[in-house]
Amino acid sequence: MIKRFVLALAAFAALVVSLGAVKVAQIREMAAIPRDMPPAAITSIRAETAVWRPTINAIATLAPVEGVTLAADADGTVVRIAVENGASVQAGDVLIELDTSVETAQLAAAGARQAIARLDRDRATELRAKNTISQAELDAATARVNQAEADVAALQALLNKKVIRAPFGGRVGIRMVNVGQYVGRGARLLPLQRLDPMFVDFSIPQRHLPELLVGQTVRVQVDAYADRSFSGKLTAINPGVDPDSRNIAVQATVSNSEDLLRAGMFARAEIELPENAPVVVLPATAIAYASYGNSVFVIETMKDADGKEYLGVRQQFVRLGPARGDQIAILSGVKPGEEVATSGVFKLRNGLKIQVNNRVQPANNPAPRPQNT
């Protein structure tokens, strides 16, 4: 029994050893066959220098230089609306009139009392010159004149308040009242804004404060006129920094002589700084972003283990600068004239064999104009 078991075990061991020998031979045969990886297809570009004027970019809101919602300064009924919605007006133009019939009658009565008081004063002056009346009587007559004149002035001021005039030239909006409507003091009547020039309000991080100067050129773009840029000047820098956001509020002024801009518009503001900085520029697609550092792949002629030359890539870590459109500035790591891979960087590694095909290039426009924008 034991002899059979030993023979069976020896036969099984011989079978395993023979199968292992066959497998090892197969593996060695496969390893002997050359298995070169096909070259990775990529696009490339030669790094070039460009002079970029440094800028500070921010999201802005347009505001009128002068803007107000006119309100009633006295109670009354609207009897006349002198302007149409959206009309242009000059300073002092009548916009809305309230009913003044009662005040007009009161003013006439006060005028009559003023005339009588003046006659009484004149007579008292003559009589005092003849020493017929006392000085106290003349003073009383003079006081009555002053009181009557004050009553006339007060009624005239009330009448003026019931005629709403434009405090400055500009464009009125959509009125909020109608003829025949009774309005109380403080009721909103219609908006008025002066739209030329326009304020551009925005905030920037406090780290840029040393770079700001009143008078710097500011360029503004709005979505309504995407193909245009409106130029202005930086006119005000807030003296304090917002303690919540650590941003500082600034204001620019731009011309709006064509009446294209409107208050409340969303805008993009760009402050031009004085220094011109030459930088190496590459398409943003050439950057391999990583938590341990950003890099590009420089294309070079390399040698394999047998000394045979081939076209490969070398990973080069870089320091990135500002971006403009499809381009990004390289502050260090790439020299002008070096050929850099611009697509397929996610599949590249140091020493990998590559094949360059530049028939279709990735976007590389500093001011792209995407469709449907």
Q: Report the C-alpha gap between 98 and 164 in whole angstroms.
A: 8
Query: Is the residue at 144 inside a domain?
Result: yes
pLDDT grade, residue 31 (50/70/90)? low
Same domain, 284 and 331: yes
Q: What is the dihedral of CA 216, 217, 218, 219, to 10 degrees?
A: -170
CA geometry: angle at 14 spanning 13 and 15, to 5°?
A: 90
Q: Is 85 exposed, middle or buried (0-12, 13-18, 19+ CB in 10 A)?
A: exposed
pLDDT grade, residue 55 (50/70/90)? confident
Helices 135-161 and 101-129 pack at an angle, to 10 degrees, of 160
**SS3 state of residue 267:** strand
How many residues are recorded in the chain? 373
Of 213, 241, 272, the residue that ends a domain is 272
Same domain, 352 and 281: yes
Query: Is the residue at 32 inside a domain?
Result: no
Of 272, 293, 324, the residue that ends a domain is 272
Same domain, 281 and 254: no
pLDDT grade, residue 33 (50/70/90)? very low
Same domain, 281 and 350: yes
Q: Where in the sequence is the domain holding 125, given as residue range(s)?
A: 100-161
Work out the number of other CB atoms within 10 angstroms of the CB of residue 6.
10
Q: Does residue 345 have a pLDDT over 90?
A: no
52-75: average pLDDT:
86
Q: Does residue 70 have a pLDDT over 90?
A: no
pTM of the predicted structure, to 2 decimals: 0.61
Same domain, 244 and 207: yes
Q: Does residue 314 have a pLDDT over 80?
A: yes
pLDDT grade, residue 36 (50/70/90)? low
Residue 116 has a pLDDT of 87
Q: Does residue 34 have a pLDDT over 50?
A: no
3-28: average pLDDT:
70
Lowest mean pLDDT among 173-187, 214-228, 292-306, 353-367: 353-367
Q: Does residue 35 have a pLDDT over 60?
A: no
Q: Does residue 373 have a pLDDT over 70?
A: no
**SS3 state of residue 111:** helix
Residue 56 has a pLDDT of 84
Residue 252 has a pLDDT of 93
The alpha carbon of 114 is separated from its chain's Cα centroid by a whole number of angstroms, namely 60
Nearest one of 182, 181, 247, 245 to 209, comparing CA atoms: 247
Residue 317 has a pLDDT of 92
Query: Is the residue at 153 inside a domain?
Result: yes
**Pairing status of strand 48-52 against strand 277-283:** antiparallel
Q: What percent of the chain has pLDDT over 90?
A: 9
46-54: average pLDDT:
82
279-297: average pLDDT:
89
Query: Is the residue at 18 inside a domain?
Result: no
Are the CB atoms for 254 and 197 separated by under 8 Å?
yes
Same domain, 212 and 233: yes
Same domain, 209 and 60: yes
Q: Report the C-alpha gap between 231 and 254 in whole angstroms.
A: 6
Are the CB atoms for 373 and 354 separated by under 8 Å?
no
pLDDT grade, residue 263 (50/70/90)? confident
Same domain, 231 and 291: no
Q: In sequence order, what are the beta bridge partners of 88?
A: 171
pLDDT grade, residue 72 (50/70/90)? confident
Mean pLDDT, rounded, of the chain: 84
Residue 348 has a pLDDT of 86
- For the domain that residue 335 is a member of, what is the CATH number? 2.40.420.20
Q: Does residue 69 have a pLDDT over 80?
A: yes
Q: In sequence order, what are the beta bridge partners of 59?
A: 268
**SS3 state of residue 160:** helix
311-325: average pLDDT:
87
Buried b (16+ CB within 10 A) or exposed e, 102-126: ebeebbeebeebbeebbebbeebee
CA geometry: angle at 179 spanning 173 and 185, to 5°?
A: 75
Residue 239: cis peptide before it, omega within 30 degrees of 0: no
Are the CB atoms for 218 and 269 separated by under 8 Å?
yes
> Which has more pLDDT, 226 or 33?
226
Which tokens sit at 224?
């309504």
Task: List all residues 6 or more positions away from 370 whose beta carbon is below 8 Å from its beta carbon.
Answer: none
DSSP per position, 27-57? HHHHHHS--PPPPEEE-EEE-EEEEE--EEE
40-49: average pLDDT:
86
- For the domain that residue 105 is a member of, what is the CATH number? 1.10.287
**Pairing status of strand 40-42 against strand 354-356:** parallel
Residue 308: what are its φ and ψ, rounded to 5°?
-85, 135
Domain count, the chain: 3
